[in-house]
Structure 1
Amino acid sequence: MSAATQTERGPIVFDPFDYAFQEDPYPVYARCRAEEPLHHNPTHDFWVLTRHADVQQAFRSEGVYSNAMGVSLEPSAWGPHAHKVMSFLGMDGDRQKRLRSLVSKGFTPRRVTELTPQVERLTDRYLTRCLELAESGQGFDWITDFAGKLPMDVISEMMGVPEADRDEVRRLADLVVHREDGVHDVPEAGVAASLDLVVYYAAMVDQRRRRPTDDLTSALLAAEIDGDRLADDEIIAFLFLMVVAGNETTTKLLGHALFHLTRHESQYDDVFAAGDTDLVTPWIEETLRFDTSSQLLARHLLADVEVDGVVAPAGSRIALCIGSANRDERVFSRADTFDLHRPKGELAQLVSFGGGRHFCLGANLARLEAQVALRELVTRVDRIDVAHDDCRRVHSVSVRGFASVPVTSVGVR
């Protein structure tokens, strides 16, 4: 039964492991917000919050919604070991504050800003190649040929990953988030890929310890607060988090941006026909709201939570449904409509990057990459045709996006 069909009658089935749900979860989200804002999935035994106010409060609350068991619903990724691959996303309190503070010594706003020329250079390289493919009549894939390459290269250059290794690192990162149909846990290939990435970054950290360079890995090794430094396994976990969370989510943002805008003719014309780069910022923010990359983040309840008379007991797993919160009619007018001209006050309420002490450390980098990439696209192209029916989504419990967005033709300015 499809996600859309099951919303029409009978009990709500909120199953993020189901491929049909992953294709279009929004009808289920809407029904949860209206009927069961604190919903329980008895099959997999987790709860889910779907209203904006509840999700936002959970992000900002202290002492109730714990990260110490990780942020993933999959059984093998859930537990006190989660911090080994999710870094400070798998921690609470002083432990989280310490690690995030030390990491921030290396991953500074200045370091992100200084990446701008590199982002511009890489954008030019990959976009030029895409346009050459289009002009030759071959067409190109927005994900394979552009959106999948740019974030990986940006993060890899920042970390110090050699260019020759980047395709393999991206392949492993893709396997980490991919989920098999009917498998309600991290598949064996994902577990193996995670171990391979840890081994790779361990070797890189060891190399930088012996021969420091001007990259993030060396900066993390040098980071120090009152004599306290990061241990090797803490650096490895942060690098793992960056390549999986930072790379994947930005790729998905760029994919959604092109997919959704090109399905809305008048707004598409506002941007491309007019060549209006001033609309790039609202285009990015509305994409983040309308179809965000990170859909679900798990928490461990340290106390009972009650919503509308329903109680999720302490000790439970609970998912904060970002994708649903961003479509909440109580906050966003015409919430299911993609609208480039949405009021700024509404866009300021999106929760795509979380909130509170766990607000996404890479938010500025994601926005920088999207700004540079989409501005360059609008500057160089006045028409871009996407084969929407041939677009193919990734399959993941918590990450939403495309594996393929074929572009059939473009008009170059």
Structure 2
Amino acid sequence: MTAQTQLSFDPYDYNFHEDPYPTYARLRAEAPVYHNADMDFWAFAKHEDVRTGFRDAARLSNSWGVSLDPAAYGPDAHKSMSFLALDDPKHMRIRKLVSKGFTPKRVAELADRIGELTQQHWSRCLEMGEFDYVTEFAGLLPMDVVSELLDVPVSDRAHLRTQSDLLIHRDEGVFDVPEAAVYAYLELHRYYSELLVARRKNPGTDLVSALLDAEILDDDTGEKTRLTEDEIIGFMILMIVAGNETTTKLLSNAVYWGWRFPDQLAIPMNDHESVPQWTEETLRYDNSTQIVLRRVIEDVEYGGYTIPAGQRVLLLLGSANRDADVFDEPDRYLIGRDSSQTLTSFGLGTHFCLGAHLARLEANVALSQIVQSINQVDIDIDNAVRVHSVNVRGFASLPMKVKVR
């Protein structure tokens, strides 16, 4: 316990957001199962414990949400996090219903449209030559893709993106959901409630219409069951965060680390077929989702400690992906390494990210167009701004110049 009292880990600390990896390294070495009594949480830093924690779904529960914020943590968390904040069988019921609309076929059919949207936004960036990569590209594309799925009008997308940004931002020194995030949630709920009413009156071929029609047989009753209005709205809000914010950060992190390590960026620059490897190494090296929370249902033992029922456990994905017990030279950014069997970035087990394929597809299509169009990128790092969030890591602003091929 001595190491734990000497080591301070505060997920809200802005300095931690700037670079969490030295803290993760100390946690893995000194306190792989860490307890912060003041902030009332435990944390798993080692790959093995994070992986086991994901699969220990019966004892480490999602039912009160995945965020440390007090206002977001509780039995009603599913209203804003959908099935991400539910355990089986409730989780699996909604997941099966959502999967009826959010099919691999529907995602695959988006590939050409993602290419068109990338071309639209990136061409404008190339014309400018100097621009904010997040504002002008990485923040636009994922929102457009989610909006295309939901058939949200182009005129509304900037407004929804603003609410999405506010939803995840955390103010320095405030250890809870800020007021602006609460209002953003209410605005998103209002918007999607009205969208749902419109789809009931005039159904189409979009995902919302598909979710309204989706039905499965209930395993217990044998009767058909459908998604409720609140369940659909909850899923749409989840898509704004999981489908928009995390992909925005992935696109930004990939370009940032490529700029930091030009020898690695040269690999996809010279061989466009290696872009998926660039995506995968970014997911490992600096993943958008860094931390998720679990609630302890019954006493569990990890790392020689008994964690009592009712406690909260943070699974540190960002730390697990840098564990030297699993990854060779984990602190080196090496495009081409194979981490397909060891990556924790999309979770594991029953809660494996439903949108993993879409996130990879967006990144691969977008990054491929980028490297085929430029031969140099220069980031104004002094004016870059990081996102400050307990769960998500990336940039709010990333000014850059590019040189067109």
Give your verdict on TM over 0.5: yes
Q: Distance in 2 between matches of 1:263 and 1:90?
A: 36
In the alignment, is the contact (CA less than 8 A) between 2:264 and 2:333 conserved in 1?
no
The C-alpha deviation readout for 1:253-301, integer Å capped at 9, x for no partner, is: 00000000111121222332x2x11221111000000000001100000
Shift of 1:214: 1.2
Q: Paired residue for 1:30?
A: 25
Match of 1:390 among 383, 391, 395: 383
Shift of 1:9: 11
**How many residues end up aligned between the 2 structures?**
397
In the alignment, is the contact (CA less than 8 A) between 2:4 and 2:31 conserved in 1?
no
Match of 1:266 among 263, 267, 271: 263
Q: Which amino acid aligns with 1:27?
A: P
In the alignment, is the contact (CA less than 8 A) between 1:59 and 1:356 conserved in 2?
yes
Q: Distance in 2 between matches of 1:266 and 1:162?
A: 41
The C-alpha deviation readout for 1:170-210, integer Å capped at 9, x for no partner, is: 00000000000000000000001001100110110111011
Q: Distance in 2 between matches of 1:248 and 1:288?
A: 14
Match of 1:207 among 181, 185, 198: 198
Q: Paired residue for 1:95?
A: 90
Moved more, 235-244 or 13-22: 13-22
- Summarize the Cα distance change of 1:382–1:77 in structure 2 as closer, same or farther, 3 Å threshold: same
Q: Which amino acid aligns with 1:320?
A: L
Q: Paired residue for 2:41?
A: 46
Matched, 1:361 2:358: no
Matched, 1:55 2:50: yes
Shift of 1:303: 2.0
Shift of 1:378: 1.2
Gaps of 5+ in 2: 218-223
Q: Structure 1-normalised TM-score?
A: 0.94
In the alignment, is the contact (CA less than 8 A) between 1:160 and 1:215 conserved in 2?
yes
In the alignment, is the contact (CA less than 8 A) between 1:391 and 1:405 conserved in 2?
yes
Match of 1:191 among 182, 189, 198: 182
Q: Distance in 2 between matches of 1:265 and 1:229?
A: 51
The C-alpha deviation readout for 1:105-159, integer Å capped at 9, x for no partner, is: 010000100111110110000000000000xxxx011111000000000000111
The C-alpha deviation readout for 1:210-239, integer Å capped at 9, x for no partner, is: 110110000000101132111100000000
In the alignment, is the contact (CA less than 8 A) between 1:29 and 1:324 conserved in 2?
yes
Q: Which amino acid aligns with 1:361?
A: L
Q: Distance in 1 between matches of 2:34 and 2:342?
A: 23
- Summarize the Cα distance change of 1:299–1:267 in structure 2 as closer, same or farther, 3 Å threshold: same
Q: Paired residue for 1:168?
A: 159
Matched, 1:234 2:231: yes
In the alignment, is the contact (CA less than 8 A) between 1:37 and 1:307 conserved in 2?
no
In the alignment, is the contact (CA less than 8 A) between 1:259 and 1:388 conserved in 2?
no
Matched, 1:121 2:116: yes
Q: Paired residue for 2:403?
A: 411
Q: Structure 2-normalised TM-score?
A: 0.96
Q: Which amino acid aligns with 2:177?
A: V
**Is the partner of 1:407 in helix, strand or coil?**
strand
Shift of 1:10: 7.4
Q: Paired residue for 1:249?
A: 246
**Is the partner of 1:20 in helix, strand or coil?**
helix
In the alignment, is the contact (CA less than 8 A) between 2:250 and 2:282 conserved in 1?
yes
Match of 2:74 among 63, 79, 96: 79
**Is the partner of 1:411 in helix, strand or coil?**
strand
**Is the partner of 1:43 in helix, strand or coil?**
coil
| RMSD of aligned Cα (Å) | 1.3
Matched, 1:293 2:284: no
Q: Which amino acid aligns with 1:86?
A: M
Q: Which amino acid aligns with 2:189?
A: V
The C-alpha deviation readout for 1:347-395, integer Å capped at 9, x for no partner, is: 4311000011100000000000001001111111122222233221011
Q: Distance in 1 between matches of 2:262 and 2:67?
A: 37
